[in-house]
Amino acid sequence: MAVEHKDTIDKRREEIMDACERLYETMGFQSINIKVISTETSFSRPSIYNYFQTKEEIFLGLLTREYMKWNDALKSIIGRNTDMNKDALARAIAKSMEERKTLLKISAMNLYEIEENSRAELLVEYKKVFKDSVELFNECLKKYTDVSKEKRTQIRYAFFPYMYGIYPYSYPTDKQISAMDEVKLSHLDITIYEMTYQFLKLVL
């Protein structure tokens, strides 16, 4: 059997993750499986197992890729040759978060199950990228605010758990809205950007 080049493996993994992401836009996590994903790729179901052992590993790869993209956005904020006040920083981070809908959706809905059903080495790879996100977020605060190291740590421990609640609040289902209306529970029509900005504005 021919040995595949790393570039070829990476391309094929990307194609599989792209298919999974497309499906996740219209289907629930439980409805997606490797057979369904294979129908959106040029691979058969058995071929996909050469690159991912479980569907959770595909989602973990997708989440890792999403964090890498967010890291690039945070690096861009850090690299700006301009001073930003706290409000401008909150807006910049909110903008970067607005572009990571898939990251927020996976984190809110299925993260625990995905981590539990992925190989340890892939989980470590994801955690490394996540650690980079935490450090880059901290670097943004350090560069553009005058808050203490202790305060930056407090903001970080508030922001990252808060992130996991952004998607459900921004994209409630019709069923959830109907139930809230039934009990007269007020709810806002709010975007990812607005939720992120308003939170950072409060804590910075």
Reported as half-sphere exposure (CB side, CA atoms, 13 A), residue 70 has a value of 29
Domains defined for the chain, CATH in brackets: 1-52 (1.10.10.60), 56-203 (1.10.357.10)
- pLDDT tens-digit readout, 71-100: 999 999 999 988 899 999 999 999 999 999
What's 54-107 look like in SS3? CHHHHHHHHHHHHHHHHHHHHHHHHCCCCCCCHHHHHHHHHHHHHCCHHHHHHH
In this prediction the pTM is 0.93
Per residue of the chain (204 residues), what is the pLDDT tens digit? 445 788 888 999 999 999 999 999 999 999 999 999 999 999 899 999 999 999 999 999 999 999 999 999 999 999 998 889 999 999 999 999 999 999 999 999 999 999 999 999 999 999 999 999 999 999 999 999 999 999 999 999 999 999 999 999 999 999 999 999 999 999 889 999 999 999 999 999
Q: Distances from the Cα of 61 to the Cαs of 25, 66, 97, 114, 189, in angstroms?
A: 16, 9, 19, 10, 31
